[in-house]
Amino acid sequence: MTEQTLTEEPVRAGDPEAAAEPAPVPAEAPGKPRKSRRPILLGIARWTAAVLVCGGVGTGAALGITAMERTDVPGLATASDGRWEYPRLTLPALPQGAPRPYTDGNDGEIHHADLRKLLLPAPVGATADPKLNGGWAGADSYPALLKESDRGAVKAYLADSALRHVAARGWTTPDGTTTRIHLLRFSSVAFAEDLKDEVTREVFQGDRLPAGVESAKIDMSVQDIDVSDLSVYAYQEEEPHGAEQTRWAYIQAGDTLAVVTQTRKGGTLTVPFQQTVALQAQLLG
């Protein structure tokens, strides 16, 4: 059995796009005291294990993202198992002296890198969504994915919380799968964790579902995604469903909550969903 590795690609610290100051989303609120992390919410497992361990590096250093064991988490595409082929992935450069999350000196688990650079790129052959092109998105971008009856409550939370930035990317692959990824970064890990707790609790109760979804169940296909310090919660639309089926996942990584949503006519595919969630989690870890 072979192990596939996503190779490193240097990132220039002087790249103006990588170092650009993000345009903030309005609505700042005072931070709340950081809460202790809860290991399990309503019986949903939290999977954590080894994470990439990196030595001290200065501005301009890039870190390669390593795919997991081939039988555990898909990395690059192979024709036999339905994986998508992604470009080489590297972590973006940091501002001078800024630590990466989950390292000494970053107790707040803050992502100092440009949030847009932490979005998973579209796989080879995908058609990009012109509205979710990997840039900044408005605060209404994520709530727009939900049922109309649930959007108001989420919008109110985002307005009241210390939401700093939203970045989003979307694409459609030749197999008919439409993927949308939203990264919501708050000024405090407490706000990101609170939103994660709220949405997972509401999904458990049958609310806060994506538009068109009537009922959902826990998606166990991501249980082998092991990235330390992150919480991953995944769901899939139960059958019988309409013309399309939806899967989605929440990845809570320090001050950032990622939402990965996939829809496909006839039914979503397990391997691309697992692969996409795994690689996005690694970029945030």
In the chain, DSSP assigns E strands to 127-136, 163-172, 178-186, 216-218, 231-237, 244-253, 256-265
Question: Whole-structure pTM over 0.75, yes or no?
Answer: no
pLDDT band at 80 (very low <50, low <70, confident <90, very high): low
pLDDT in tens, 18-58: 334 444 444 444 444 444 443 333 333 333 333 233 333 33
Residue 63: its pLDDT value, please? 36
pLDDT in tens, 253-285: 999 999 999 999 999 999 999 999 999 999 998
Chain center to CA of 274: 12
pLDDT in tens, 134-175: 999 999 999 999 999 889 989 988 988 889 999 999 999 999
Q: Which two tokens stand for residue 14?
A: 């002087």
| SS3 label, residue 11 | coil
For 257, list phi and psi in degrees, rounded to 5.
Answer: -115, 120
**CA dist 216 → 114, 119, 197, 241 (Å):** 33, 26, 17, 10
208 backbone φψ class: left, alpha, beta (φ>0; ψ -120 to 50)? left
Query: CB-based burial of residue 92 (10 Å sphere; 0-12 exposed, 13-18 middle, 19+ buried)?
Result: buried
CB 187 within 8 A of CB 24: no
**CA dist 187 → 82, 86, 230, 279 (Å):** 38, 31, 17, 24
**CA dist 18 → 88, 91, 162, 167, 258 (Å):** 17, 11, 23, 14, 20
